[in-house]
Structures are given as C-alpha cells and as structure tokens.
Chains A and B, each alone.
Chain A
Amino acid sequence: MTSRKVAKRGFNLDYVMWLFMRLSALAMYAVGLTGLTAALVMGARTQTDLSTLVRWTFFQNPSHVFSSDIVVLDNFINQFWQIMQITMVFFGVTHGLNGLRIVVEDFMGSTIWRTLWRGFIFFAWIFITLVAIYVVLAS
C-alpha cells in the first residue's frame, strides 16, 4: 500500500502522554511487584502486616517500617531502592496529574480557568516530584 507523504509534525503532547499513561501503568506494576517480592524474600512474609507490605510495595522506604519487627532493614537501605522509590514517585505523580489534566481539558472548554488549571497542574507536578525526591534521598 502506498500513501501520500505528509510533513512530520513536531512535539505532540497528547500523543506522548497517551503512550506515557499506558507505559507508566505497566512500569508501576513492575516496580510495585518488585518491591513486594523483595520484601517477601527478605523476611516480610513472616514478620509484618498487610499495611507494611503495602508500604514496601509502593514506597520501599526503610523509615516507613521502623515500627515493625522487620530485622532486614539494611537490605532496603541502598541506592537501588532509592532509584525504585524515585521511579515510583515520578510515574505515580505524572500519571495522576496527567489524569487531572485530561479531566480539565475535557470539561473546562477554552476558558481562562483551563489555562490557570494547566499552570497549576504543571507547577504541582514539579513541586510534588521534587519534594518526594528530597524525602527519598534524605530519609
């Protein structure tokens, strides 16, 4: 099948975010399941409760489990898990706030409120991501 040539278009936010939403959802499953599996392997299966396991799944931060009886915290205090936490934070915040952007795009119409919401979402994305990364690196 032949097709007429068309000029390539530049950056297309909607296309990029459509792809991102699908890939980031898969990535969050991968990160979460990795954390959960590692927690179980490192002893969580006999020494902790559901809420602690959930924290390990979604935010593998040793400071979250100080109150538990886990004795393998050292295994979680290394750069690999910090990278995993930052990955989860980035995908989660971007995925969620893009969902909010989509709602705004759908229902706000071409009004000043849409522009204001877009700006708010952009700055919220930057702010939350930076604060979360600070928490991960400082804890």
Chain B
Amino acid sequence: MKKITLKLFRYNPETDTKPHYDTYKLEVEPTDRVLDLLEKVKGYEDGTLSFRRSCAHGVCGSCAMRVNGENKLACKTLIQDIKSSKITVEPILGMPVLKDMIVDMEPFFDNYKKVMPYFINDDPKPEKEHIQSIEEQERFDDTAKCILCGACTTSCPSFWANDEYVGPAAIVNAHRFIFDSRDQGAAERLQILNDQFGVYRCRTIFNCTLACPREIEITKAIGEVKKAIATGSLD
C-alpha cells in the first residue's frame, strides 16, 4: 500500500461562487487507477463528488480529466505511473465546468458535427458489403481509434485561445472518413477544413499527440489533411 495526497478540483454552481480544492489522504495500491481513487472518495468520503465514467476500460472516453496537469483518462492512469505521491485531479481545460470534473461537452460535439463524421456514399448499395483492401483500410486505421474523449482538443492552446477552431478531435474524425476509400464526402470535408477555423489554426504544437490516450498520431493526421487540401490529392 502507498500513502498519497489527492487534491480534487471542486465546483458546485448551486452553492459555490468560485471553484476550490479539497484534499484527501488515501492509502492505495500501486495498481489502482485514478478512477479508483475518485470512486473511493465518492463512495467513502464525499458522495457529492461528480465525474463522468462508464466503461472504466479506456474505450468510452468519458473520464478524460487533468491529472497533475496532463490530460489523461482516469481509468487508464495507474498510480504506479505517477511519480509523485501528490495527485491533483482537475477538469479538462477550455470548456465550461458544470460541476467538479464534469464539463459541458456541447461545444466539442458541435465542432465534431461540423466535419460530417459519418459515412457518405451515394452509389447503389452493394449486395453484401463495400469491399476494401487491407492497404486501403490501413490508410485511416490510426484515426479510426478515436474515442471522442476530448483530451486532444482540450490540450490544444489554439482551442483555448479561440473555441471556434474545430479542434484536433474533429480533424481526426474528418481524416478517418476523408481517407476511407469507400467514402465519397472527402471534397466536402476538405472544403470545411480549408478555413481559418479549420486546419490552419493548428500550430503544430503536438500537445494533442501527447495527450491522446489512444496514441493516435494526431498532428501527423492534421498534416495529412493540410497536404490533401494543398495538393488536391488523397494519395
């Protein structure tokens, strides 16, 4: 067992005029996750603590939060991987805080919807399925891993500065369809992203790539979209 100090961001708009931090001393296993600590506090210390969680296995993308200043999924962050015995957990930046770790994700999903993140194909339906080679599938394999946790977009200084920027997550999901050989909406998506609030807001800072819990090469994907706009080619 290891003794740690857990410092949690707290804000309840019904009772608090401004946010504050609560501190808890806990004994934890090195293999515990930050999500386990939050569950422990909520279950045994303060039932009003609010945070999103669902699958607890790094798939649903609900529990993105800042752990010691870095965007992480609470369910994938082991205590043994955090070097300090002091752990600070705060909500992700750039979105309005609703309560404690819960932020309003509507602006994030509004930007996501702008890039038409769905399959477009006007051809008659094939008898069985749309055939695709392994190489064609690998073209967008990396960006198809996105779980829409928002860790990338909320780590991006360009998004913090101006939330009209669609953000890395939206571009990643556009990339997933733009480079899908079965899809026919690439030109429309490229035109949407060929805008001052599209790919040109990316300053190649790489925060998004570092923050992604799925290890998607986000900056590379954004670069590929920029190249597709500049050359007019998807090769």
A9 close to B186 (CB less than 8 A): no
The 15 sampled A-B contact pairs (Cβ below 8 Å) are: A1-B181, A3-B184, A6-B188, A6-B191, A9-B194, A12-B194, A12-B195, A13-B196, A14-B195, A15-B230, A18-B200, A18-B226, A105-B196, A106-B161, A107-B161
A15 close to B120 (CB less than 8 A): no
B230 close to A19 (CB less than 8 A): yes
Write the nearest CB–CB distance from B131 to chain A, whole angstroms: 13
B191 close to A1 (CB less than 8 A): no
Closest 9 CB pairs between A and B? A14-B196, A14-B200, A106-B161, A6-B187, A3-B187, A3-B186, A1-B181, A18-B200, A6-B191
- Contact partners of B188 in chain A: CB under 8 A: 4, 6
- A9 touches which of B158, B181, B191 (Cβ 8 Å): B191
The bracket for how many chain B residues form the interface is: 20 to 34
Write the nearest CB–CB distance from B197 to chain A, whole angstroms: 9
CB nearest neighbor in B for A1: B181
B187 close to A109 (CB less than 8 A): no
Residues of A within 8 A of B (CB): 1-6, 9, 12-15, 18-19, 105-107, 109
Q: Which of B199-232 contact A (CB under 8 A)?
A: 200-201, 226, 229-230
- Bitwise, B179-195 to A at CB < 8 A (1) or not (0) is 00100111110010011
Q: Which of B9-27 contact A (CB under 8 A)?
A: none
A15 close to B181 (CB less than 8 A): no
- Contact partners of A9 in chain B: CB under 8 A: 191, 194
Given A1-B184, A1-B234, A4-B120, 14 further pairs, Cβ under 8 A? A2-B184, A3-B187, A4-B187, A4-B188, A6-B188, A9-B191, A9-B194, A14-B196, A14-B200, A15-B229, A18-B226, A18-B230, A105-B196, A106-B162
A15-B194 contact, Cβ under 8 Å, with A3-B186, A5-B187, A6-B188: yes
- Contact partners of B158 in chain A: CB under 8 A: 106
B122 close to A4 (CB less than 8 A): yes
Q: Which of B158-192 contact A (CB under 8 A)?
A: 158, 161-162, 181, 184-188, 191
Write the nearest CB–CB distance from B93 to chain A, whole angstroms: 16
- Contact partners of A105 in chain B: CB under 8 A: 162, 196
- Contact partners of B195 in chain A: CB under 8 A: 12, 14
A15-B200 contact, Cβ under 8 Å, with A9-B194, A106-B161, A106-B162: yes
